Chain A
Amino acid sequence: MLEHDVLVVGAGLAGMQAALHAAKQGVSVAILTKVHPVRSHSNAAQGGINAAMEEDDPWEDHAYDTVKGSDYLGDQDAIEVLCSEAPETIIELEHMGVIFNRGSRGQIDLRAFGGQARKRTCYVADITGQVMLHVIYEQLMKAGTQVYEEWFVTSLVRQNDAVCGVIAMDLRSGELHLIKAKAVILCTGGSGRVYEPSSNALICTGDGYAQAYRVGAPLMDMEMVQYHPTTLPGNGALMTEGARGEGAYLINANGERFMERYAPNMMELASRDVVSRAEQTEINEGRDINGCVLLDVRHLDRNTIMQKLSQIRELGLEYEGIDIIEEPCPVRPGMHYMMGGIKTDIEGATFVKGLYSAGEAACVSVHGGNRLGANSLLDTLVYGKRAGTSAVLYADGISSPDIPDSRLQEDREHINGILSRNSEQGERAAALRLAMGQTMHQHVGVFREQSGLEKAQDTIATLKERYRNVSVDDKGKVFNTDVLFALEVGLMLDVAEAIVASALFRTESRGAHYRTDFPERNDDDWLKHTLVFSDESGPRLETLPVTITQWQPARRTY
């Protein structure tokens, strides 16, 4: 029987950080991940990680920028934790081995990022996430933490109002196992694949959102979906905000730096929701180049590009055939990040006992309506650590769960159902996902309104119905990625349903959620979080007040 005190699901930065800090307390900890840890999507964070590192930069200023960036929807107690613990987190990382680019005295150098009043972003060229992920994996190897590598959670086990384990498939053998755990921490990342296109990796299927949702943990602010202003039109790949941090311009078909009409002070470095909306407006009003605007770094020093933006130069060459040193590169807003997620408190605990969460999977909420660039890496580490530590405290106080073997049978039957269906007559998971992704992009993207959202709601309901007849070609056990994908699509449809329901519910415009039928922010009615629960009859919505400590909501301009 497989059993641990704490089981972490997901091995990105949040997951590994949670596991490392849980293991420090001397309890039995394991990580379960559907891909090898260094394949995780934390890799994709290019630009950097924010922290008030300089003496004349109090962390409160970072917190204020974050609160303002969130369009006052972030919980200020959580943001205070995030920003006050940021500098020590960076130092810990540096001592762990993260290299960080340096300034003239050999100190950690800072670059400018969007939505912030000053330079506050620590970075390693444009591979910050990759370096951090590999370094924290080094620490995991050093600690000898057990990893269930290439395992996939098919469901969470909830008994007597508490989560006490998971059912998971070892992808290599195809066998299903019950893993008991006194506490489970979901660090499963975001759900970019719910949208088409998206900057996210193929593994970002929001597994944790759906699994938590299914066992009764509510999801918060799911309507807050970040569109990144600079993704490539071809495959949706990300071109770092660091480019604009280093001084890149955004220009439209007329050659204008159009941001001066939308954010005259911060220009290209306004917060992401503002820039993405500006771009989409330019595109909708016909000042586009094949549905794109242009990212222009031609005026930057060649050395700066080669040393600090080398990866995005490669991406431009690789996927668009454009050398950014010579030519501006077409970009457009692309689905990038989920501000919403599994509702947790500042200790990482969800509404369900025994279930914890951190990173993009969770919603504390530090990002509110719009996440600032380079705050996500920080979120993973600060709250990964907290979730790991508090899960151990909880696990300490309870005894080993007793779960009947029959629980395994439910998941086995579900999978056998998919395997047994004739693939000629069944639904292809890929077709369902594509239809879902395109609908979400069209109706639940940068701009939204009632009738479009209702269309999306109908489409998702139809797709869920069709999903009941999903089938696969691969009937084997070893690395059956066909079945894996079918299971992921089933989870994604639940996530899509939660996003649409939340977006319909919030009848105002705030942060990334812009309703053309309710174009103003409405603090009187909507200075609160949306909470979505999974009921028999579908999503049920509630609200939760926003925690305000020192910054009263104000008009937001950049």
Chain B
Amino acid sequence: MQFKLNVRRYDPEAENPAPYWREYNVDVPENATVLDCLIHIREYIDGTLAVRCSCRSAICGSCMMRVNGQARLACATKAKDMQEAGEAITVEPGGNMPVLKDLIVDMDVFWSKIRQVKPWLEPVQPIPEREYLVPNETILDLTVAMNCVMCGACVSDCTSLEVDKNFIGPAALAKAYRFVDDPRDEARQERLEELSDYGGVYDCTHCFFCVEVCPKDVAPLERIVEIRERAQGAGVENNAGTRHAKAFEGIIRDSGILDEPMLLLKSIGMNPVEQMKNVPGGVRLLRAGKLPLASGPFHHKIPGHGNVKRLFEKVEAGQEA
């Protein structure tokens, strides 16, 4: 079957290195994957095309790239499914990582973020003579996180990382969950505190792209939310994220409508130094008209806000039952 691919190329050794597009027509079996097409190009049409690949069955995580604009494993993507009538399949390197050559990106930062979460078991002492006894349900839950092949698809398409290089990112946080959730790990509390800090679980903006693009159903965002819940359950609350969540809840409960300036103040907390640091940002928000002036005692409550309060109570009662 004929497929047309438009591949984004980049040769760092060119005289004036700049990305460009090159179109290829390949004749491959009907059930060929995008990776099969690229290998065909490399082997028989144009050997200069650089691509990382190994297992061909979605377990090694080498061939993450953007196909038709979305991060995917090329080996787990059927060319047929990507081909739209008359259109070429577009193939680009993954995002949020510097391109080294053609479809090969530099994953050094990816791995440094993985190392940042201290991704190894700190075994509960004393270490037993035999294996630790662990309920199988826990193992099944951990298996979801261990399914991660470190392909970087979630990092490629993460919208938080795009604007905040300090964010640990979805892959490293999903990896961190694997230890937080492991009853054999002793450093749980310490991990929860670090993960709740600046750059951690609260810096995710819930865009859900990581869930959508993950080829192994790890659903990093869900792991991030679970870390938050565990952190708050373990009393890790002295951080902007928890204060923000609590302030949000308190304000809505009381007035039924959000009071942005108060939310900002409460999220920063009662630390004058931190508050001063946020003044320039506050001014920018004001200028952009994103910060209504009526706040605190001047903030209005919506009519019938008592109903909102009752909704909260009902939900809470339901949770306890």
Contact = CB atoms under 8 A, between A and B. Distances in A.
Interface of A: 35-36, 38-41, 43-44, 90-91, 94-97, 99-103, 105-109, 124-125, 127, 130-131, 134-135, 138-139, 141-142, 172, 201-203, 234-235, 237-238, 307, 311, 314-315, 318-319, 321, 423, 428, 430, 472-474, 476-482
A481 B51 contact: yes
Contacts of A430: 43-44
A38 B149 contact: yes
A479 B13 CA distance: 11
24 contacts: A35-B60, A39-B54, A40-B60, A94-B131, A95-B131, A97-B182, A99-B146, A100-B139, A106-B132, A106-B133, A106-B136, A107-B131, A124-B143, A127-B143, A135-B121, A138-B119, A141-B114, A141-B115, A202-B53, A202-B56, A234-B29, A315-B57, A472-B47, A474-B48
A501 to B, nearest CB: 28
Interface residues of B, number: 59
Contact of A319 (B11, B31, B147, B182): B31
A478 B115 CA distance: 26
Contacts of A127: 59, 143, 146-147
Contacts of A477: 13
A318 B143 CA distance: 21
Contacts of A472: 47
Nearest to B62: A39
Interface string B51-73: 11111111111100000000000
Q: Is the interface of B mostly helix, strand, loop or mixed?
A: loop
Given A101-B139, A105-B133, A138-B121, A428 B54 contact: no
A481 B59 CA distance: 21
Contact of B42 (A94, A314, A481): A481
Contact of B54 (A100, A124, A141, A203): A203
Interface stretch (B100-108, B192-200, B226-234, B302-310): B100-108
B120 A142 contact: yes
Contact of A476 (B11, B59, B104, B115): B11
A103 B100 contact: no
Contact of B47 (A36, A134, A141, A474): A474
Given A319-B31, A476-B13, A479-B50, A97 B44 contact: no
Nearest to B56: A235
Contacts of B123: 95, 97
Closest 10 pairs between A and B when the two form their complex, measured CB to CB: A473-B47, A106-B133, A430-B43, A97-B121, A482-B47, A102-B136, A138-B120, A474-B48, A142-B120, A94-B131
Given A318-B58, A482-B48, A94 B132 contact: yes
Contacts of B78: 318
Interface of B: 11-13, 29, 31, 36, 39, 42-44, 46-48, 50-62, 76, 78, 100-102, 104, 107, 114-115, 119-121, 123, 127, 129-136, 139-140, 142-143, 146-150, 182, 184
A90 B134 CA distance: 15
A201 B60 contact: yes
A191 to B, nearest CB: 14
Nearest to A125: B143
A124 B140 CA distance: 9
Contacts of B115: 141
B121 A307 contact: no
A479 B59 contact: no
Contacts of A91: 129-131
B42 A482 contact: yes
A87 B132 CA distance: 14
